[in-house]
Amino acid sequence: MENYADIPAVHKARTSYFHEQTVRAEEIVVLRDKLKWCYRREGVNHFKNCRELAQQYMDLLSEMKSGYLKPLRWKGESES
């Protein structure tokens, strides 16, 4: 069971949690910008060439609806 009597530790954990969520929200913004530029760069071929970015973006949006954003894993990155 967690110890909520340790006020500094609780404050540190809460601050860390909100910081991580803010960073994840900014990652969504960055990914959206990458997707927008991919659409513009690829033109009519954007459905094929930007598919991976679009899928990552949709996955992040669906995670955001659940209330907790998991750490972003780029392609080929190991989960440690």
Confirm whether 23 is domain-assigned: yes
Confidence class of residue 77 from pLDDT cuts 50, 70 and 90? low
Confirm whether 17 is domain-assigned: yes
Confirm whether 78 is domain-assigned: no
Confirm whether 52 is domain-assigned: yes
Burial bucket for residue 28 (CB in 10 Å: 0-12, 13-18, 19+): middle
Confirm whether 2 is domain-assigned: no
Confirm whether 75 is domain-assigned: no
Q: Domain of residue 29: give its range.
A: 7-66
Confirm whether 71 is domain-assigned: no
Confirm whether 80 is domain-assigned: no
Confidence class of residue 1 from pLDDT cuts 50, 70 and 90? very low
pLDDT one-digit tens code per residue, 12-62: 888 888 888 888 889 889 999 999 999 999 999 999 999 999 999 998 888
Domain count, the chain: 1
> Would you state the structure tokens that stand for residue 3, as one six-digit string?
């110890």
User: CB of 49 within 8 A of CB of 42?
Assistant: yes
